[in-house]
């Protein structure tokens, strides 16, 4: 089998033809300038809120700049295409990150300026960089069959990533990301630094949201769908450079139908960006290895830095890049330092833009403890192969995983004498060993193994085809491959695309038939990308009485309920029960018997949400399918609530009592009063503090002690700047005397009992109000 490269670099001669082509490529950027201006005007002044604005923002931010970058980049057409699109995604992220440090938020004119600079940068590169005056050819050209095959694979990838994506509501981390994006747009300078991951997944939806004025789930995910689709041609481009076109096509096909690839292309999360930018960093590192161009090394460092801005997973390709640089130094050792230094400066500057303030921020300690203690674990080595296997064979069919492992093993044998052997082995071995032997709780991070696995599987498949001695053997092998591929495609379609039923949340009843597994129960935690709709788009129009409560995560309801007052205590006026909530908050169904069922929401005719209220009502049933919900940033950013009465008391420089709300200022013995406190964290809090609320005048006449928000929001989970609504119900003793009754509040350490001290008075209790007690006995 011939695994050597099938292309080389040629440049046009010094003729008028080269000058003509260079002129056309340079002027193409100028010709697009009026289009950019027109789109900006339409966005700001003409187009109505909604899909029209979001489509224009998508074109302005991601498509037009990619067209210009494709004219500047060097390499075969496929490399230029994915490289240009990758740069068009990365450049506005860096610009927006820089702008986020300027006080005052990110107004529309700032984002419009970022979009303009995103366009002008490649235009300037075309004008000043002599690389634009060269044309790199690929010989031999792609055959018609190969071109059609790649087009078919790309179309299949589009279908699997787009069908029914609008059905899916936000889940888990998606809600967190969109709230942080709204905070950043509103001027919260800590929004990005509070995130325990890189800022990319926040900044990418932030850009079209700020430009368009409002956004829904589909357009929030639009750029992630785009990036997830681009990964497929990126796999093909890397496979073509490392091996050959046949292996590249098989790898692209296998990756296009991979469960992780499909799932993460359909959500607002970082994984698709990590995969795309790390693949591009490898493509340009390989180009540097073979051609020695410093620009290619700078591009590799830029894409690696972008991947690290998305998530720490990107560091797993660093050994491959390091090896390729070392391999180049063996060819041209004299110039290597001069080429490495600019790449380190560019990549380091991009990383420093975020990670220097991030590491200096107090919240970084939470991230470190989470990664080291919760995910990696306390042991030097872990044995996570069973967890990796279960996650891999849940997101994909067991047939698919076995096929990949078999073909990849064959591929490893086939490349034993190939020039890209060490790079390919490092690409696979680094994430595989890390997540099977080092990380105790790998969860879906095993997605990092599959790009290398599919590449080697592509090599293995083409090798087996080449050694088949007869047409019958080839036909049998092809038939087996297509049968496994078809079954695997059916599995991912049922799990991620089909929504009738939602199989992941009803696995026991609806697990796909004829797909055996080695486990009885699927993974329970860290699952993303599966379709689910409970009817939350309809809920805001049905809930009038506040505060509300729900069994659904606050991270999700914050978006749909537009930050309406929510409680986890018995003082709710409305309770929303969502069916099949993934990380369900505990609640007592019997407690709802004293409330009235007011609304039943259905999805495809199946009841998925029940809304209870304190007032009797005629039950209405409504269908959620077909409803859309758009949100402006100001609706999603957490409001600065501080209660009816503001007090602003600092406790131990850890947190503040901002204020409180009382439903009455008079009580009778035996009555219960609801007191709502509003706390704000000043810095990360390592301990869990209990809140005490006392009716005390020298004797205790009523009290309630407990963790904030009925133990749902312990202080160790508070983020700096976060405001927590904390409700307490206190019953006045039956034999309480008449007269003034002080209301005292504070916090104490649950373990030691030590109270936090008011920084201004030195007291360990806050006297916030006095109740007037009537109908009680005389004071002694």
Q: pLDDT tens for residues 465-522?
A: 999 889 999 999 999 999 999 999 999 999 999 999 999 999 999 999 999 999 999 9
CA 595, CA 542: separation in Å to the nearest integer?
Answer: 16
| Whether the Cβ atoms of residue 622 and residue 601 lie closer than 8 Å to each other | yes
Give the pLDDT confidence score for residue 643 in this predicted structure: 85
Confidence of residue 24 (pLDDT cuts 50, 70, 90): low
pLDDT tens per residue, range 519-541: 999 998 889 999 999 999 999 99
Give the pLDDT confidence score for residue 4 in this predicted structure: 44
Q: Going by DSSP bridges, is the β-strand pair 645-651/620-623 parallel, antiparallel, or unpaired?
A: unpaired
Mean pLDDT score of the chain: 90
* Residue 140 preceded by cis peptide, ω within 30: yes
Average pLDDT estimate for 399-423? 95
More confident residue, 144 or 734: 734
Give the pLDDT confidence score for residue 8 in this predicted structure: 39
| Whether the Cβ atoms of residue 461 and residue 3 lie closer than 8 Å to each other | no
pTM: 0.92
pLDDT at 5 over 60: no
pLDDT tens per residue, range 210-235: 999 999 999 999 999 999 999 999 99
Give the DSSP H or E segment for 318. Answer: helix 318-331
CA 237, CA 451: separation in Å to the nearest integer?
Answer: 12
Give the DSSP H or E segment for 451. Answer: helix 450-467
Give the pLDDT confidence score for residue 140 in this predicted structure: 56
Contact partners, residue 141, CB within 8 Å, separation at least 6: none
> What tokens does 52 get?
């029209």
Average pLDDT estimate for 646-653? 93
Contact partners, residue 297, CB within 8 Å, separation at least 6: 284, 285, 288, 325, 339, 340, 342, 343
Task: Tell me if residue 681 falls in helix, strand or coil.
Answer: strand
DSSP state at residue 143: P
Give the pLDDT confidence score for residue 242 in this predicted structure: 95
Confidence of residue 17 (pLDDT cuts 50, 70, 90): very low
Nearest to 395 by CA among 252, 496, 313: 496
Confidence of residue 757 (pLDDT cuts 50, 70, 90): very high
Q: What distance, in Å, lies between the first and last C-alpha atoms of the chain?
A: 101
CA 524, CA 508: separation in Å to the nearest integer?
Answer: 13
Burial class (CB in 10 A: 0-12, 13-18, 19+), 767: middle
CA 701, CA 719: separation in Å to the nearest integer?
Answer: 34
Nearest to 330 by CA among 298, 294, 289: 289
- Please name the residue ranges forming H helices in 493-532: 507-510
Give the pLDDT confidence score for residue 750 in this predicted structure: 86
Task: Tell me if residue 544 falls in helix, strand or coil.
Answer: coil
Confidence of residue 2 (pLDDT cuts 50, 70, 90): very low
Give the pLDDT confidence score for residue 780 in this predicted structure: 64
| Whether the Cβ atoms of residue 449 and residue 236 lie closer than 8 Å to each other | no
Give the pLDDT confidence score for residue 3 in this predicted structure: 45
Average pLDDT estimate for 530-553? 96
Give the pLDDT confidence score for residue 674 in this predicted structure: 95
pLDDT tens per residue, range 697-729: 999 999 999 999 999 999 998 988 899 999 999
| Whether the Cβ atoms of residue 287 and residue 328 lie closer than 8 Å to each other | no
Burial class (CB in 10 A: 0-12, 13-18, 19+), 626: exposed
CA 570, CA 667: separation in Å to the nearest integer?
Answer: 20
Lowest-pLDDT choice from 118-127, 283-292, 311-320, 507-516? 118-127
């Amino acid at each position: 089998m011939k695994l050597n490269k099938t292309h080389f670099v040629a440049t046009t001669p010094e003729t008028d033809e080269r000058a003509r082509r260079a002129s056309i490529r340079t002027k193409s950027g100028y010709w697009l300038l009026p289009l950019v201006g027109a789109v900006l005007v339409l966005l700001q002044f003409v187009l109505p809120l909604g899909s029209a604005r979001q489509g224009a923002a998508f074109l302005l931010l991601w498509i037009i700049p990619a067209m210009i970058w494709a004219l500047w980049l060097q390499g075969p057409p496929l490399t230029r295409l994915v490289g240009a699109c990758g740069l068009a995604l990365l450049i506005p992220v860096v610009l927006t990150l820089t702008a986020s440090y300027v006080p005052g938020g990110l107004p529309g004119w700032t984002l419009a300026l970022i979009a303009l600079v995103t366009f002008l940068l490649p235009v300037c590169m075309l004008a000043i960089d002599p690389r634009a005056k060269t044309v790199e050819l690929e010989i031999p050209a792609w055959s018609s069959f190969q071109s059609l095959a790649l087009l078919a694979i790309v179309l299949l990838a589009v279908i699997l990533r787009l069908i029914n994506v609008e059905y899916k509501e936000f889940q888990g981390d998606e809600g967190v990301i969109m709230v942080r994006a709204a905070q950043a747009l509103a001027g919260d300078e800590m929004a990005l630094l509070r995130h325990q991951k890189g800022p990319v997944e926040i900044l990418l939806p932030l850009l079209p949201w700020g430009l368009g004025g409002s956004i829904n789930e589909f357009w929030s995910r639009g750029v992630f769908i785009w990036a997830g689709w681009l990964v497929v041609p990126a796999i093909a481009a890397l496979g073509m450079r490392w091996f050959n076109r046949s292996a590249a096509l098989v790898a692209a096909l296998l990756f296009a139908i991979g469960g992780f690839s499909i799932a993460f292309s359909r959500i607002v999360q970082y994984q698709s960006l990590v995969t795309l930018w790390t693949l591009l960093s490898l493509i340009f590192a390989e180009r540097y290895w073979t051609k020695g161009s410093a620009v290619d090394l700078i591009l590799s460092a830029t894409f690696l830095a972008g991947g690290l801005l998305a998530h720490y997973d990107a560091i797993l390709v660093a050994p491959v890049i390091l090896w390729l640089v070392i391999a180049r130094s063996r060819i041209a050792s004299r110039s290597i330092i001069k080429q490495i230094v600019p790449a380190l400066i560019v990549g380091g500057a991009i990383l420093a833009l975020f990670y220097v303030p991030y590491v200096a921020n107090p919240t970084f300690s939470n991230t470190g403890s989470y990664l080291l203690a919760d995910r990696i674990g306390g042991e030097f080595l872990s044995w996570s192969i069973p967890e990796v296997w279960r996650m891999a064979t849940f997101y994909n069919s067991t047939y698919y995983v076995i096929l990949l492992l078999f073909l990849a093993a064959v591929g490893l044998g086939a490349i034993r004498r190939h020039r890209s052997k060490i790079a390919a082995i490092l690409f696979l071995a680094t994430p595989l060993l890390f997540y099977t032997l080092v990380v105790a709780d790998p969860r879906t991070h095993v997605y990092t193994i599959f790009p290398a696995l599919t590449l080697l599987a592509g090599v293995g498949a083409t090798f087996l085809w080449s050694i088949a001695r007869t047409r019958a053997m080839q036909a049998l092998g092809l038939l087996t491959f297509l049968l496994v591929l078809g079954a695997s495609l059916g599995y991912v379609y049922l799990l991620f695309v089909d929504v009738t039923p939602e199989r992941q949340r009803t696995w026991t009843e609806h697990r796909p038939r004829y797909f055996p597994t080695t486990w009885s129960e699927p993974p329970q935690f860290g699952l993303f990308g599966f379709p689910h709709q409970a009817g939350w788009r309809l809920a805001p129009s049905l809930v009038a009485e506040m505060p509300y409560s729900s069994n659904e995560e606050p991270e999700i309801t914050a978006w749909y309920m537009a930050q309406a007052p929510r409680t986890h205590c018995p003082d709710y006026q409305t309770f929303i029960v969502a069916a099949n909530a993934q990380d369900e908050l505990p609640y007592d169904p019997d407690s709802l018997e004293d409330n009235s069922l007011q609304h039943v929401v259905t999805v495809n005719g199946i009841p998925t949400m029940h809304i209870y209220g304190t007032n009797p009502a005629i039950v209405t049933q409504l269908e959620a399918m077909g409803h859309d919900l758009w949100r402006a940033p100001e609706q999603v950013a957490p409001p600065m609530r501080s209660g009816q009465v503001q007090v602003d008391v600092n406790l131990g420089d850890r947190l503040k009592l901002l204020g409180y709300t009382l439903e009455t200022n008079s009580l009778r013995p035996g009555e219960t009063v609801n007191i709502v406190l509003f706390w704000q964290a000043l810095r990360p809090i390592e301990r869990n503090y209990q809140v005490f609320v006392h009716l005390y005048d020298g004797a205790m006449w009523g009290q309630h002690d407990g963790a904030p928000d009925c133990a749902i929001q312990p202080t160790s989970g508070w983020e700096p700047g976060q405001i927590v609504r904390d409700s307490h119900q206190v019953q006045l003793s039956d034999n309480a005397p008449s007269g003034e009754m002080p209301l005292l509040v504070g916090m104490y350490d649950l373990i030691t009992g030590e109270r936090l001290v008011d920084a201004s008075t030195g007291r360990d209790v806050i006297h916030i109000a006095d109740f007037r007690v009537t109908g009680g006995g005389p004071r002694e």
